[in-house]
Structures are given as structure tokens and as C-alpha cells.
Amino acid sequence: MFIDRSYPAYDIAVKGLPLYATGFVFFAVNIVSIGYFQSVERAKYATVITLLRGFILLTACFFGLPLLLGDRGIWLATPLAEMLTTLFILVIYISGKRSIRKIRIFRQDGLYPNITFSCKHKSPVFGLHYLCSMETMIKKFCKKYKLPENTLHELLSHMAEVRFSKGELIISEGERNSNFYLLKKGIWRAYYLTDGTENSLWFAAPGDTAFSSWGYVDSEVSLINIESVNESIAYCISKPELEALFSHSIDMANFGRRIFEREILSVDSSTVAYGTPPTAKERYMTLMEENPELLQDVPLKYLASYLYITPQSLSRIRAGLKKK
């Protein structure tokens, strides 16, 4: 169309363009998939697909195919890279479908009969993410409290799923709340007010438990606030229901004992820290080691109040560590 038939490039294009055009279908699928994964906040998959089709597979095909097919290999390099990328997307899709099936099997087996797995996202990739986050929470919980997974499964079967928006108070100061919570997603913060200033006491991440000590132990009003730092999902059970489980199952009774042993250990650790207080830098480095997720999701001012320093001091500590 754009060159005369007498040019040698004409014959090359006539032979090569049909080969190159075989990749257009795969190209369209890949571009749409990248946009889809970005729209559902699955940036990791979008990035991997982009690198595969635009650099990794494309480079390999451009170097490998001409050695096997000659000039035709140059024209087929891009289509083959697009096709292999599409196959990768199919693998993601099939893996997600299997994960959704696993979730359904869990429900049919009665492991989580009271937990709702419905969500706005119907994609299989979301199902894979949901299952992975569930497994991560279970493993962290069982490791922290040294309990078998079947004990946690039994507990979850009696709990209800609850959701909280960013900044929402789960428990307010002056409120009676004896519920027991197990955090699945998000970050919670406990704090109290002194002359209008918020002082952070502790943070809870997925796999951690949370409750008002005053409400659960003595049915008294809470002296602290427990807030959802970001959008969160937790499992909730009332004190009477939980104590009924303790009385009917030795495993559940051991679970309750482990929970409060951890609470006592936490209090003793804080007491020792007050006796020989570490530096602000040491407290921050301990926080980084034990709860790295907090550094990504919790505002700087909350972390600073938890460490008993100002946000400016915390910024200087962080800047000093980055230089190293």
C-alpha cells in the first residue's frame, strides 16, 4: 500500500504481515486483562503480564525463533510472546476457579458455616486472594497461640463476620462491650484520651484477637477506645457463647487459657520495658521486626504516640535508618 512492488521490502511485508497479524487476538486479550487487574486493584498481576509480553517473553522469542525459523521467526516473535502471555493469564484464571471451589468445599464441610464468603468481586482472582488471606490469618493465629488449626476452625464456625469502615469505633470509651473479636483483615488501634490528645496503646493486625478487658472480664465500661484504622473484617462472638464453648470442649478451654496467658505476658513485657526503657529508636526497630504491616497502614502520628515520641522525632528516626 505504501511502497512500490518493485522494492524488496514489499515481498518481505507480504509474507511477514500475515504472520505478525496472528498475534492480534492474543494482544487484545492481554491488554484487556491488564486493564482488568488494575481496575480490581491486583497491580501485581498487571505488572507481571506487562513485563512478560513487553520484555521477558518478547526478548526470548526475538533471540530464539530466528535461530529456528529464520526470517519467519522475526515476524512470529511478537505473536508468540502474546500467546504465551495469554496462556499465563489462563493459568491465573484456572487457579482462581479452583480456589473458589475450595472455599465452597470449606463451607460444605462445615468448617465455616456462619461465615459469609460473598463479596462484590466475582472474579476468580479475588477468590484466590480471599483464600490466601484466610490461610495467612489462620497460620499466624495458630503460630501465635500455639493451637491446632482444627481448634480455630471450630471457633470460627461459631463466630459471625463483621465489617468496619475506616475510622469507625468498634468499642467506645464508656461503653460496655464483652464481645471477643478475631481480626481477619485490616488494622485496629486501642487508644485513650489525655487532655484531648490520643495516646495509642496497642495495634491489632490479621490473626490477632481484640476485646475490652473491662467489658469481657467484669462487664464494666471500657476505659479505652478501639478503632478500625482502615477498612477491616473481623469475626465476632459474644462472651456467653464463647464461655459455653470453653465449658464443652477441652481444646476450646485451652484456647481461652492461651489467650489470657498471652495477655499476661504482654503486660509483663510492658512493665519490664518501663523499668529499663529502651531508646525510641530501639522501640521503633522492635516494632518494625514484630509488626512490619503497621508501618504501611498506620498513620505516622498513631505510631509516634504508641512509641511515646512526637511525629517529628519518629520522622528523624526513619530518615536516619533509611540513610543506613
Find, among 196, 222, 200, the residue nearest to 211 by Cα. Answer: 222
pLDDT in tens, 126-174: 344 444 467 777 877 887 777 777 778 888 888 899 999 999 999 999 9
What is the overall mean pLDDT for the chain?
A: 78
Burial of 206 (0-12, 13-18, 19+ CB in 10 A): buried
Q: How confident is the model at residue 86 (pLDDT cuts 50, 70, 90)?
A: very high
Res. 40: pLDDT tops 80: no
CB 75 within 8 A of CB 35: no
What's the rounded mean pLDDT across residues 292-309?
82
Q: What is the pLDDT of residue 277?
A: 53
Find, among 152, 103, 128, the residue nearest to 45 by Cα. Answer: 128
Q: What is the pLDDT of residue 117?
A: 39
**More confident of the two residues 111 and 228:** 228
Q: What is the pLDDT of residue 3?
A: 60
0.75 surpassed by pTM: no
What's the rounded mean pLDDT across residues 83-90?
92
Q: What is the pLDDT of residue 301?
A: 87
CB 23 within 8 A of CB 83: yes
**What are the distances in angstroms from CA 159 to CA 111, 129, 154, 239, 304?**
11, 21, 9, 11, 34
Q: What is the pLDDT of residue 122?
A: 39
At which residue does the C-alpha cell 490466601 appear? 132
* Domain layout of the chain by residue ranges: 8-100, 137-323
Handedness of CA 286, 289, 294, 295 (dihedral sign): positive
Find, among 271, 292, 175, the residue nearest to 223 by Cα. Answer: 175
Q: How confident is the model at residue 235 (pLDDT cuts 50, 70, 90)?
A: very high
What's the rounded mean pLDDT across residues 299-315?
85
Lowest mean pLDDT among 37-46, 68-77, 204-213: 37-46
What's the rounded mean pLDDT across residues 80-87?
92
% pLDDT > 90, the chain: 18
Lowest mean pLDDT among 104-113, 221-230, 233-242: 104-113
Q: Which helix (H) or strand (E) holds 164?
A: strand 160-164
Q: What is the pLDDT of residue 316?
A: 85
| 134-151: burial string, b at 16+ Cβ within 10 Å, e else | beebbeebbeebebeeeb
Res. 284: pLDDT tops 50: yes
What's the rounded mean pLDDT across residues 60-74?
87
Amino acid at 140: K
Q: How far apart are CA 71 and CA 77, in angstroms?
A: 10
Is the domain spanning 137-323 CATH 3.30.1340.30? The answer is: no
Q: What is the pLDDT of residue 123?
A: 40
